[in-house]
Amino acid sequence: MIIKKNDTQIVSVNMYLIDHVKMLMRSLLSMPRFAKQIIVILLDVSLCIFTTWISLCLRIGEIVNFTESELLAVLLSILLVIPIFKTFGLYKELFRYSGWPTMFVIFKAVTVYGILYSSIILAIQIDGIPRTVGVIQPLLFLLSVGASRFIARYLLTGLNKDNTSTGTLPKALIYGAGSAGRQLVSALDNSHEMSVVGFLDDDIRLNGHVLNGKAIFSPDDLPIIIDLKGVTHVLLAIPSASRCRRNEIIKNISKYHVAVRTLPSVTDLAEGRVTISDLCDLDVDDLLGRDTVLPNHLLLSKISKSKIVLVTGAGGSIGSELCRQIIKFSPKIILLVEICEYFLYLINSELEIYNDKCNKTEIIPLLASVQDEERIREIIDIWKPDIIYHAAAYKHVPLVEQNIAEGVKNNVFGTLNIAKLAIEYSVHEFILISTDKAVRPTNVMGASKRLSEMCLQALFDKDKSKTKFSMVRFGNVLDSSGSVIPKFRKQIREGGPVTLTHSEITRYFMTIPEAAQLVIQAGAMSKGGDVFVLDMGEPVKIFDLAKKMIELSGLKLRDASNPDGDIEIVITGLRPGEKLYEELLLGDNPQPTLHSKIYKAQDHFINWSALETNLNVLDILIKHNNVEVILAILRKLVPEFTPDLMLSDIIFTKQVRLIENI
């Protein structure tokens, strides 16, 4: 193709003009809001003058010059337009976010203006101004104002986009052509990061129609649309869909290797602040395909309303959520006991904000270790709590394996410290947060938690004290510290690989709010010495979860059958003390409770006199870091405990090496 010199010059001039228009638009965007409003008002004044003149020319049939009469008609137009537009909020509207809703507001404002303008023209009968100008001018003004807003929006958004890169933007389909979907497409029209190519909707009556300039397709056409339009993302805009229906939709989409995201908040949509990063990852319930266990609100409110509540480990994943749930039911005082200053600061700040808005619970942040008996005594003695939720514990399996003495000291003797003080000060309720790893444990963390349960069972059995001890046992908590889902998400974002300890490893899962609500409800049902467990449905195979997360990120699993895939799953081997699967019950005879999803376990325990003797020995062994004998005592007290034969304790192994080198 031969390009003539004149053509080249024309192209250069066009590029020059486009660049200068872009620079002008950026300058306008950077101006203060007041200056922008002045510019818009001046634009509307100009349109008043122009449309009045045009309407006179059209009515009279010739070019007219402005005389005193014509100027009076223009002045009347300006004096009506400015206050009416201001009343309708049109000078607060941002042009780059304007659309059909703004056009509707303009229509209403100009209708009011037109009625007033034509009425006044008819009433005062200005010499030289035909009465039909009162009809023609508002119609022309409506068209010119609408056109000015659309042109400004195009210049501020469309022209401001890099025209050379729009073809490379991620292509998205919005699943759901309802109000949420319409909001989302309007918001993303202002984004320079993603291009919406259409809607998907289950309603067959909508298929083939066009909404906001985007075609509506059937979900059955998804593979064809992906191929034709190069779709890389599907954005879920179906907030009213049931969990079951969402799971069906996600399962269907996951076949096609597109990234699935869900709707951001309505506030961000309304304010036009949506970018790719604002579109959320699927929540954990979507990933697991399970229904949330609904709480019994009578049980939730029964235990803490108007009470003094103490939460240990108040800054941790479970402890902090317990505090969030408890404060909703207006306890008199909530005592936040936490050893980590930063975590205590975070949960205290969050609760204070909630408290200022909703109620007047007294919130008291207390730095303390559960191992410090005197500090805990001071706290309980001063405030006399009615209920203690004991969430403080070392829970990370490999770390406790590497620090055996400290893990047992904190989990067992920290619990024992608070339990004995609860009895001494007649605390009404004591609820221990336990774990499924306490059932037939293969690690010190699980064994120490099972021993903690046994201590509380034995203390209650010893003299049937006024303190009702109960234990709540549940599986892995999603999005808590150490949870696999945030770890997998991070690894996928970084391009992999996704690391997994074993291809057959399975786990029970629940969300943090579910876990906290379970603890509160179980405490409300306790008669003393009870171990509560949750019916958590079927366990999840972690390999399948990792594979699903890769696919729903729009990527392909790289393995032997697909060497050109995007993300590989690497098996690293089981960590010390890690089990392939977890259990919730020692026996096979769980008892039902008032909550259909909460059961009571019937687990054995040792009487207090026998247990106390062994605990005294264990305490001495901890002080000398004699981990081999500590493990022997744990095996004796928790017969189901089957520890790893290879000791991982850091200090012990270091001491052994030092001795060997002598």
- State whether residue 468 is helix, strand or coil: strand
Strand bridging mode 387-390 / 476-478:
unpaired
Q: Where are the beta strands (DSSP E) in 218-348?
A: 231-236, 259-262, 308-312, 333-338
Q: Which two tokens stand for residue 110?
A: 């100009």
Of the candidates 171, 307, 395, 437, the residue annotated as catalytic is 437
| Nearest Cα residue to 299 out of 334, 329, 322 | 329
Residue 638: partners with Cβ closer than 8 Å, 6 or more residues away: 441, 447, 450, 451, 454
DSSP category for residue 166? G
Residue 437 annotated among the catalytic residues of the structure: yes
**Through-space distance between the first and last CA atoms of the chain, rounded to whole angstroms:** 86
- State whether residue 27 is helix, strand or coil: helix
Q: Are 238 and 180 in contact (CB under 8 A)?
A: yes
Torsion sign, CA atoms 66, 68, 70, 73: positive
Residue 10: partners with Cβ closer than 8 Å, 6 or more residues away: none
- Dihedral Cα 570, 571, 574, 578, nearest 10 deg: 70
- Angle at which helix 373-383 crosses helix 414-424, to 10 degrees, equals 30
How large is the greatest C-alpha to C-alpha distance in the chain, in angstroms?
A: 118
Amino acid at 105: V
Could you tell me if residue 642 is left (phi over 0), alpha (psi between -120 and 50 degrees) or otherwise beta? beta
DSSP category for residue 291? P
DSSP category for residue 374? H
Q: Are 321 and 515 in contact (CB under 8 A)?
A: yes
Q: Are 368 and 379 in contact (CB under 8 A)?
A: yes
Residue 192 φ then ψ, to 5°: -100, 15
Q: Are 392 and 637 in contact (CB under 8 A)?
A: no
Q: Report the C-alpha gap between 340 and 368 in whole angstroms.
A: 8
Amino acid at 402: Q
| Nearest Cα residue to 343 out of 366, 360, 359 | 366
Q: Report the C-alpha gap between 498 and 421 in whole angstroms.
A: 46
Alpha-carbon distances, residue 299 vs 44, 295, 305, 469, 522 (angstroms): 62, 8, 11, 17, 8
Strand bridging mode 195-200 / 210-211:
unpaired
H or E element, residue 514? helix 512-525
Which residue numbers are catalytic? 437
